[in-house]
Structure 1
Amino acid sequence: MSDWPQGYGLHVLQEVDSTLNEAARIAPTAQGPVWIMAHHQTVARGRRGRAWTNPKGNLAATLLLHPQGTPDQIALRSFVAALALFDACVAVTGRAAGLSLKWPNDVLLNGGKLAGILLESMGQGRGVSHLAIGIGVNLAEAPGVEMVEPQALRPVSLLSETGALVSPDDFLTELAAAYARYETQFVTYGFDPIRIAWLSSAARLGEVITARTATSETVGTFETVDAGGNLVLNTAKGRVSIPAADVFF
């Protein structure tokens, strides 16, 4: 079991509307990075305002940071969080088999969605004063397929796929320790080592995938993630760099 990382606070709630909302509330007075975990969320949410189902025994947590850098640089912490999630899963199960990372912000297990990441920034104008990294992990139970949008990957749980029963508290300890290691690497050496590590576990790298936005759809071979965190596809019309989209296999 990892020790809690030095310099990171911990705020545990039995119930809250959303750990992301709680992060926004405490951001003005928070003195340093702090993890917020709730055993129950009443208004959990995912990307693009979608509802996020959070059954009992799953992890619902948000890391509140006071980051330095431009908004684009700060947003690269989604990759930092993904690597930390990958390592935490390995730590609690003793295996990396079946785990992969789906651009831009999901962790997969045996081809199904195990965890999701959502970044929300706070600040004035173009500056970012606080960053909240929301993380949900299906530890004990996965939502039903009727809870996800058409063509989305099936939800899976750590318990159903590996037989490992892990409490949210124990998982968060591993996650916080892993995140602290990658955060130090990111701040010290920049994005490139993070990008290379992320690509080493990327789902469907070198395969044909579909990137879909509200207004367009791009089909191409997943070539890489560039220095800005953009998805790079080789398409029939040439090489395309995509900053934001939902990816479908």
Structure 2
Amino acid sequence: MVSLGERALAAGYGLRHVPSIGSTSATLMQDALDGATGPVWLVADEQVDGKGRRGRFWHSPPGNLYASMLLSDPAPSEKVAQLSFVLALALRDAVCQIAEAQGVAGLDVELKWPNDLMINGKKCAGLLLEGGMKGQSRFVVIGMGVNLAFHPDKSNHPASNFAAFGLNTSPAHFFAFLSDAVARRIDQWARGSQFDQIRADWLAHAYRMGEVMRINANAESYEARLEGVDPTGGLIVDHMGRQRIVTAGEIFNL
């Protein structure tokens, strides 16, 4: 049975678990527009209309974790995008806790800008932020798809799953760790006032930082060296000796 971890429960997070749904994020977006407030999680055993970045279909049969969280007025509008880093770190925290508990060593668990969890260079989870307004109040929905038991055969990045690396966990087992990690990281973030701490932790585990990658952003595609993350969460790159800030886009291995 899917349930919140002790820390998340004590912090007042809510949870709804359903066997099947179109999309956890789309459902929470509509709930928020209808007046629902967070923090609340929606977890589904399967999604029949899951979406990834840029509206891509996300194959979501039973066995993996499909979860979205609604937050009401989580931070000033200019800081909301930082939640990508907060939630990505929480994902990594949960993975590392389970690996340690199970004695699984040799895993390189990294975070790829802006929103992917990588294990030994393979994408194992992604998250997507969506936001809206209800009257004068802002809300944010963060959706997560975590490859626990299997992964897509075809994807834009090499993919894998937890089981392939010896991590034996179910959606219910992993979610308890994840919900606690999210509650802790959101407290640390403090509505954006402590993003410097989050950014430092994220950079300590950043995928391919310092290396040359392909950048796809704003209808451009170019090669650049990854140099860091600025105080707003933008990716700092060196493109032909000139610093650029990427605020939206994707990065790919050469």
**TM-score by structure 2 length?**
0.90
Matches for 1:189-208 after TM superposition, within 5 Å: 189-208=193-212
1:116 aligned to 122, 126, 139, which one? 126
1:238 aligned to 231, 239, 242, which one? 242
Q: Deviations over 1:128-183 (max 9, x none)?
A: 621000000000111113xx2xxx3211000012x222111111111110011110
Identity %: 36
Question: Which of 25-34 and 180-189 deviates more?
Answer: 25-34
Residue identity matched to 1:19? T
Which position in structure 2 is the counterpart of 1:144?
153
- Structure 1 segments, 4+ long, off by >3 Å, are none
Query: What SS does the corresponding residue of 2:46 show, helix, strand or coil?
Result: coil
Which position in structure 2 is the counterpart of 1:17?
22
In 1, Cα distance between equivalents of 2:173 and 2:251: 31
Which position in structure 1 is the counterpart of 2:221?
217
Residue identity matched to 2:208? R
Tell me: CA distance 1:93–1:212, structure 2 relative to 1, closer, same or farther (3 Å).
same
Tell me: CA distance 1:211–1:128, structure 2 relative to 1, closer, same or farther (3 Å).
farther
In 1, Cα distance between equivalents of 2:87 and 2:54: 19
In 1, Cα distance between equivalents of 2:131 and 2:141: 6
Unmatched tracts of structure 2, length 5 or more: none
Which position in structure 2 is the counterpart of 1:69?
75
Which position in structure 2 is the counterpart of 1:43?
49
Which position in structure 2 is the counterpart of 1:57?
63
In 2, Cα distance between equivalents of 1:209 and 1:222: 7
In 2, Cα distance between equivalents of 1:32 and 1:223: 35
Question: Is the Cα contact below 8 Å between 2:74 and 2:140 reproduced in 1?
Answer: no
Unmatched tracts of structure 1, length 5 or more: none
Residue identity matched to 2:83? R
In 2, Cα distance between equivalents of 1:96 and 1:15: 35
Query: What SS does the corresponding residue of 2:21 show, helix, strand or coil?
Result: coil
Question: Which of 28-37 and 235-244 deviates more?
Answer: 28-37
How much is the aligned-residue C-alpha RMSD, in angstroms? 1.9
Q: Deviations over 1:46-97 (max 9, x none)?
A: 0000011123210000010002433330111010000000001112222573
Question: Is the Cα contact below 8 Å between 1:55 and 1:141 reproduced in 2?
Answer: no
In 1, Cα distance between equivalents of 2:134 and 2:89: 29
In 1, Cα distance between equivalents of 2:106 and 2:209: 17
Query: What SS does the corresponding residue of 1:169 show, helix, strand or coil?
Result: helix
Query: What SS does the corresponding residue of 1:52 show, helix, strand or coil?
Result: coil
> Are 2:207 and 1:168 aligned?
no
2:157 aligned to 125, 146, 153, which one? 153
1:107 aligned to 107, 110, 117, which one? 117
**TM-score by structure 1 length?**
0.91
